[in-house]
């Protein structure tokens, strides 16, 4: 027997609280540590806490704009929703590239090769520059046409085209925020990425009401003000990340001697990225089709769907942080020659994520209407948003496991496997199912298709993961 056998339940709770507080403080200290040895559970928590907080800050971006823009009416919310649907294609490129960046950096850091990690950082900067330039030119030139293509009403096009042009024109702030954060996450320095999102959100929260409503000396820009505030916030965060990257104080850095184009590394980065980009293009273009289906029911349906998905993302993005932790742990442990520890890390992380999202699902089922009313007082919009939350939340436990396993594939550099799974679950299942169900039961059919497709994706991903082929992926 030991001393803990004689502790009361209250004393055990105090001990557990102190231990958790110690882990949280350690994880947020910014101290560099190894994740390829020691307790797997503790390694997951130390890496996941800053990543969860980072994604929580990203989720704040998602809801802050809607919170203020909803005061302008359903058309303004529809502008944000339709533009966000288009931006998901940009996010697909950014996330797909960042998955490759994390995988390559994590493998090299796990193998103790910091010089190779610096070369990856330099090639990442080049890729971001080219991609953001192409997207910015196209977005600014065809902003109004993009909204019309999405089925927007003319009032939405008239009032929202400047919002769309600014968001797409400022694509560099989105791309580099993802890519540079991925560099630090892959190296295990997740606190740097977390702080950049805190900075971006602080600026966005301060500027949003000022630029939307014209508070004090600021001009009243309406929905366009939300785009200006968001782009400025993200832009400042990108400058912070470049400063940290150039400081030389972290395991991954950027130095001019490595800035020349390295064809071999660049091609390897792009090769791994292709699977990641296609993977997320499939998933996000599916969302694009879902938004197009919702647009046939008018601005109220689009506004309700937008609010529901934003609330969904507010909780799902922290879960994504746990997925990022799984990706880093898989990459570093494979680089260190320890695939069994990589697999244990995945199951530990999946357990944490399941507990988190199960709690969220219960909250959504109980308080869906109350949550929707935070963003709008329009009864019709609230009804759509609440229905979206209730139906989508039924698949949350499946999402929890599927997200972690998918990110584990990506962390190993096996971006092709989840691409094929996404192709089946989203294009061959979700889109046709949403169309068919919407034709019979309206917008609720779209929500049901999301829950069904995501649940099937989780089941298929686990089955494939257990074969172990991802352990042999080469990056």
Residue pLDDT, tens place only, 63-97: 788 788 888 888 788 878 777 777 777 887 888 88
User: According to the model, what pLDDT value does residue 218 have?
Assistant: 93
Average pLDDT, the chain: 88
Q: For the whole model, what pTM was predicted?
A: 0.81
User: According to the model, what pLDDT value does residue 4 have?
Assistant: 52
Nearest alpha carbon to residue 55 among 19, 79, 89, 91: 91
3-state secondary structure of 19: helix
Q: Phi, psi (5° rounding) for residue 153?
A: -70, 155
User: According to the model, what pLDDT value does residue 446 have?
Assistant: 95
User: According to the model, what pLDDT value does residue 10 have?
Assistant: 63
Instruction: Please state, for a pLDDT cut of 90, what percent of the chain lies above it.
Output: 52
Task: Give yes or no for residue 322 having a pLDDT over 60.
Answer: yes
Counted residue by residue, the chain has a size of: 475
Q: Which of 61-65, 158-162, 426-430 has the lowest average pLDDT? A: 61-65
Task: Give yes or no for residue 62 having a pLDDT over 70.
Answer: no
- Of residues 455 and 53, the one with the higher pLDDT is 455
Domain boundaries, the chain: 47-325+337-472
pLDDT in tens, 292-316: 899 889 889 988 998 898 888 777 7
Nearest alpha carbon to residue 120 among 169, 194, 180, 78: 180
User: According to the model, what pLDDT value does residue 441 have?
Assistant: 93
Q: What is the DSSP string of 217-237?
A: TS---THHHHHHHHHHHHHHH
DSSP-derived secondary structure letter, 73: -
Q: What is the C-alpha end-to-end distance of the chain, expressed in Å?
A: 49
Nearest alpha carbon to residue 253 among 189, 178, 329: 189
User: According to the model, what pLDDT value does residue 284 have?
Assistant: 74
- Of residues 130 and 150, the one with the higher pLDDT is 130
User: According to the model, what pLDDT value does residue 157 have?
Assistant: 80
User: According to the model, what pLDDT value does residue 445 have?
Assistant: 95
Task: Give yes or no for residue 2 having a pLDDT over 70.
Answer: no
pLDDT band at residue 363 using 50, 70 and 90 as cut-offs: very high
pLDDT band at residue 8 using 50, 70 and 90 as cut-offs: low
- Euclidean distance between CA atoms 433 and 436, whole angstroms: 5
Contacts 24+ apart (CB under 8 A), 261-267: 261/123, 261/126, 262/119, 262/122, 262/123, 265/104, 265/116, 265/119, 265/120, 265/123, 266/123, 266/126, 266/127
pLDDT in tens, 161-210: 888 899 889 999 999 999 999 999 999 998 999 999 999 999 999 999 99
Task: Give yes or no for residue 317 having a pLDDT over 90.
Answer: no
Task: Give yes or no for residue 51 having a pLDDT over 80.
Answer: yes
User: According to the model, what pLDDT value does residue 254 have?
Assistant: 84
Q: Which of 31-35, 352-356, 383-387, 453-457 has the lowest average pLDDT? A: 31-35
Task: Give yes or no for residue 231 having a pLDDT over 80.
Answer: yes
Cβ-based neighbour number of residue 253 at 10 Å: 19
DSSP-derived secondary structure letter, 153: -
3-state secondary structure of 284: helix
User: According to the model, what pLDDT value does residue 5 have?
Assistant: 54
């Amino acid at each position: 027997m030991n001393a803990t056998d004689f502790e009361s339940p209250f004393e055990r709770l105090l001990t557990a609280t102190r231990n958790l507080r110690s882990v949280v403080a350690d994880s947020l200290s910014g101290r560099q540590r190894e994740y390829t040895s020691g307790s797997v559970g503790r390694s997951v928590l130390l890496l996941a806490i800053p990543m969860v907080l980072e994604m929580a800050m990203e989720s704040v971006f998602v809801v802050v704009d809607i919170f203020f823009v909803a005061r302008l009416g359903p058309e303004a919310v529809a502008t944000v929703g339709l533009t966000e649907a288009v931006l998901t294609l940009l996010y697909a490129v950014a996330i797909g590239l960042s998955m490759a960046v994390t995988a390559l950096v994590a493998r090299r850091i796990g193998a103790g090769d910091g010089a190779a990690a610096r070369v990856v950082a330099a090639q990442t900067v080049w890729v971001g520059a080219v991609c953001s330039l192409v997207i910015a030119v196209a977005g600014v030139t065809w902003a109004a046409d993009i909204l019309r293509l999405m089925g927007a009403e003319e009032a939405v096009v008239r009032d929202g085209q400047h919002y769309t042009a600014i968001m797409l024109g400022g694509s560099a702030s989105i791309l580099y925020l993802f890519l540079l954060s991925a560099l630090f996450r892959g190296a295990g320095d997740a606190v740097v990425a977390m702080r950049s999102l805190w900075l971006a959100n602080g600026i966005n929260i301060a500027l949003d009401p000022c630029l939307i409503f014209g508070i004090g000396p600021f001009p009243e820009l309406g929905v366009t003000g939300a785009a200006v505030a968001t782009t400025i916030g993200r832009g400042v965060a990108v400058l912070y990340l470049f400063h940290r990257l150039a400081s030389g104080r972290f395991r991954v850095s950027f130095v001019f001697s490595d800035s020349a184009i390295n064809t071999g590394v660049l091609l390897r980065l792009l090769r791994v990225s292709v699977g990641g980009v296609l993977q997320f293009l499939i998933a996000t273009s599916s969302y694009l089709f879902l938004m197009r289906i919702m647009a046939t029911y008018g601005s109220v349906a689009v506004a309700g769907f937008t609010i529901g998905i934003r609330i969904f993302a507010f909780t799902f993005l922290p879960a994504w942080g746990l997925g990022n932790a799984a990706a880093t742990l898989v990459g570093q442990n494979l680089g260190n020659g320890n695939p069994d520890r990589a697999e244990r890390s995945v199951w530990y992380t999946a357990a944490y994520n399941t507990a988190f999202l199960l709690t969220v699902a219960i909250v959504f089922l109980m308080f869906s209407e109350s949550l929707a009313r935070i963003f709008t007082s329009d009864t019709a919009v609230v009804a759509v948003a609440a229905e979206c939350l209730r139906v989508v939340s039924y698949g949350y436990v499946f999402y929890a496991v599927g997200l972690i396993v998918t990110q584990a594939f990506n962390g190993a550099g096996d971006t092709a496997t989840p691409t094929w799974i996404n192709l089946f679950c989203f294009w061959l299942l979700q889109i046709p199912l949403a169309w068919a169900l919407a034709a019979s039961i309206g917008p609720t059919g779209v929500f049901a298709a999301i829950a069904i497709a995501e649940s099937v994706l989780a089941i298929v991903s686990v089955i494939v993961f257990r074969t172990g082929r991802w352990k042999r992926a080469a990056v």
